[in-house]
Amino acid sequence: MTSETISQTAARIFNVVLIKPTHYDDQGYPIQWFRSAIPSNTLACMYGLAQDAARRHILGDDVEIRLHTIDETNTRIRPQEIVEMMRETGGEGVICLVGVQSNQYPRAVDLARVFRAKNIQVAIGGFHVSGCFSMLPEIPPEIREAQELGVSLFAGESEAGRLDGFLGDAFARQLKPLYNYLDDLPSLEGEPLPILPRARVRRTMGKLSSLDFGRGCPYQCSFCTIINVQGRKSRYRNADDLERILRENQAQGVNRFFITDDNFARNSQWEQLFDRIIKLREEEGMTFGFTIQVDTLCHKIPNFIEKATRAGANRVFIGLENINPDNLIGANKRQNKITEYRAMLQKWREHGAHTAAGYILGFPADTKESILRDIEIIKRELPLDILEFFFLTPLPGSEDHKRALAQGVWMDPDLNKYDLNHRVTHHGKMSDAEWEDAYRSAWKAYYTDEHVKTVMRRSAVHGLRSIKSLTSKLLMFHLMIKYEGVHPLEGGALRMKFRTDRRPGMKLENPLIFYPRYGFKTIRNAIGYWLTIRKFRKFQQEVVEAPDRETYTDTAIAKQSAQEFEDMELYHATSGGEKALARKKRDETIRKDAHLHAAE
């Protein structure tokens, strides 16, 4: 637990404990690591807001707000220790379970139940609570359960002084059952900045922190919760805000960030933000590395990719989702044009950025055979580095979930499984077993030794630094799927398990069984890790020493030509692909005719 004292002389202490909960694995143990992969941006935002409130003495000059931050993905929570800490400092405070997604909601309620039994105030906020209040006509049972425990619920965002009001109510022990700000999305300009304490950042792999430049996305994807919680209008921090964030992090030795904006390419202020970062890099010698999220049409924005990479965006996550246009249209993701995929990916490559793409399995037209066919097409024809697979999941807060609920479609009642790594509904064409097998097979099909080497060879064309960075990312994905059984985005280094932290309702295991099994699996995985690392390093060495390292080419990275639209299976494997190609040809003909008429 990381804590910060703003004042040392106040007569009273009010503890604000910010907890980002994890969720349970299939055996009922919290998914925790010695070092986790991805930091929590909500924790960073809430810490920044609470730190600002403490410095302004919003509870009075005689009250010290003492902040504590816990990211449960890399820190064990001991509720009794937190209770004793509060009692030792006067017994005043509030537990805030922040950024709680649907799969983390059961864990959050389990923690809340323990604290409420000790008469400690608890609030839960995040996408599950906000999504349910945003989209559902009635309060779902799990939300009512929390209310019956006396837990306060927070829907929406905490900027614009809302956290001040909440903390004031908590200090007076008059928390409201519900704080609902969904209908009033705040501006982000001039707001306190998201930041994580250095001690918290050090608990992530690569000392990675998190921040957001803006919120909101203009699109209407039916599986998405973000548009219904953060809105479809872009809200953003200005360049001065951004510079303050970067300088404050740089001062504590943090310069690598995961930018959580769902679609940075649609932030109307992207150019001013990138220009400010470029100025800091090129005029002051500051160094930054960013992972950003963009859409598949970002390359159409003049100078976007050029300025993004100059600013330090070296890894890019793209919502590819599928290569069958019929599936994309069915999910209301009409902005994705498969005829633009290669141009977009190649442009990122030309500017030195590695690309990762999300790919959803389980659209209505999918079968196991079509899924595996499409993965082979991607491997052969698209210059992607990392491919991340997800079950199509009706997440609470999405249009898909709202529709399924209204239609009485079966959905798994255990929210812990809503992590996009578990099947939680049935499929129209595949049996449950077939769908689950297709998901497992997809990972195996993409991350074969042969394709891993191919991806390395493509990256090595751009230099040795590029391939070394990519190899570590490929390793992470391979190891998490093969040995840990969790999605790589939930992964980390050295899995931690604690016998007594098992999910309530599941029997505590005998110590003589639990500890030997945990120790054996840890050792077995360590051996598997070592062998895999040796293998990948060998692949990397072979690629580095290849005589054609700088001249290597293949179908995916070959220069674009008109002929590719006739030859590539990407455009001919599905009827949707054929239609997309026909639309592209028709549009090009219209543009040429318009150009000729203009010239005349």
DSSP character string of 293-339? EE-TTGGGSTTHHHHHHHHTEEEEEEEEE-S-HHHHHHTT-TT--GG
Q: Is the pLDDT of residue 587 over 80?
A: no
How far is the CA of 113 from the CAs of 18, 35, 108, 171, 564, in angstroms? Answer: 16, 27, 9, 20, 59
**8-state DSSP, 574:** S
Fold category of 2-180 in CATH: Rossmann fold (3.40.50)
Query: Of 309-313, 412-416, 431-435, where does mean pLDDT reach its minimum?
Result: 309-313
* Residue type, position 278, single letter: I
DSSP SS3 for 585: helix
Q: Which helix (H) or strand (E) holds 281?
A: helix 270-284
DSSP SS3 for 31: coil
- Whole-angstrom Cα distance, residue 449 to residue 470? 15
- Looking at residue 462, its pLDDT comes to 79
600 — pLDDT class (breaks 50, 70, 90): low
- Domain segments of the chain as ranges: 2-180, 212-446
Query: Of 91-105, 188-202, 307-321, 581-595, where does mean pLDDT reach its minimum?
Result: 581-595
Rounding to the nearest 10 degrees, give the CA dihedral for residues 210, 212, 218, 223: 30
Tokens for 63, please give them.
């009250």
Q: What is the pTM of this model?
A: 0.93
Residues of the chain with pLDDT > 90, as a percent, come to: 70
Average pLDDT value for the chain: 91
CB 523 within 8 A of CB 495: no
Q: Is the pLDDT of residue 440 over 90?
A: yes
Average pLDDT of the residues in 115-142 = 96
DSSP labels for 186-220?
A: PP-TTPPPP---HHHHTTBTTS-EEE-SEE--S--
Q: Is the pLDDT of residue 496 over 80?
A: yes
* Residue type, position 347, single letter: K
- Looking at residue 2, its pLDDT comes to 61
Q: If you classify domain 212-446 with CATH, what class do you get?
A: alpha beta
- Whole-angstrom Cα distance, residue 18 to residue 417? 24
Secondary structure of the chain: what % helix, strand, coil (to 5)? 45, 15, 35
Half-sphere exposure of 326 (CA within 13 A, CB side): 15
9 — pLDDT class (breaks 50, 70, 90): low
pLDDT tens, residue by residue, 216-253:
888 888 999 999 999 888 888 899 999 998 999 888 88
Query: Of 35-39, 156-160, 425-429, 535-539, where does mean pLDDT reach its minimum?
Result: 35-39
Q: Which of 9, 13, 3 lies closest to 64, judged by CA?
A: 13
**Strands 492-496 and 32-36: what pairing?**
antiparallel
- Whole-angstrom Cα distance, residue 397 to residue 377? 33
Q: Is the pLDDT of residue 599 over 70?
A: no
**Three-class SS of 387-456:** EEEEECCCCCCCHHHHHHHHHCCCCCCCHHHCCCCCCCCCCCCCCHHHHHHHHHHHHHHHCCHHHHHHHH
DSSP SS3 for 580: helix
DSSP labels for 497-522?
A: --GGGPPTTSPPPPHHHHHHHHHHHH
Tokens for 106, please give them.
């059961």
Which residues on neighbouring strands pair with residue 117, listed in sequence order?
A: none
How far is the CA of 17 from the CAs of 44, 49, 66, 77, 94, in angstroms? Answer: 13, 13, 8, 11, 6
Average pLDDT of the residues in 397-422 = 96
- Looking at residue 7, its pLDDT comes to 45
CB 579 within 8 A of CB 338: no
Average pLDDT of the residues in 111-139 = 96
CB 121 within 8 A of CB 95: yes
Q: Is the pLDDT of residue 112 over 90?
A: yes
Rounding to the nearest 10 degrees, give the CA dihedral for residues 235, 241, 242, 245: -120
Higher pLDDT, 395 or 8: 395
Tokens for 413, please give them.
């009642």
- Whole-angstrom Cα distance, residue 385 to residue 546? 19
Which residues on neighbouring strands pair with residue 69, listed in sequence order?
A: 2, 18
- Whole-angstrom Cα distance, residue 262 to residue 295? 9
Average pLDDT of the residues in 348-364 = 93
CB 429 within 8 A of CB 367: yes
pLDDT tens, residue by residue, 63-108:
999 999 999 999 999 999 999 999 998 889 999 999 999 999 999 9
597 — pLDDT class (breaks 50, 70, 90): low
pLDDT tens, residue by residue, 527-586:
999 999 999 999 999 999 999 988 999 999 998 888 888 888 888 888 888 888 888 888
**Three-class SS of 517-554:** HHHHHHHHHHHHHHHHHHHHHHHHHHHHHCCCCCCCCC
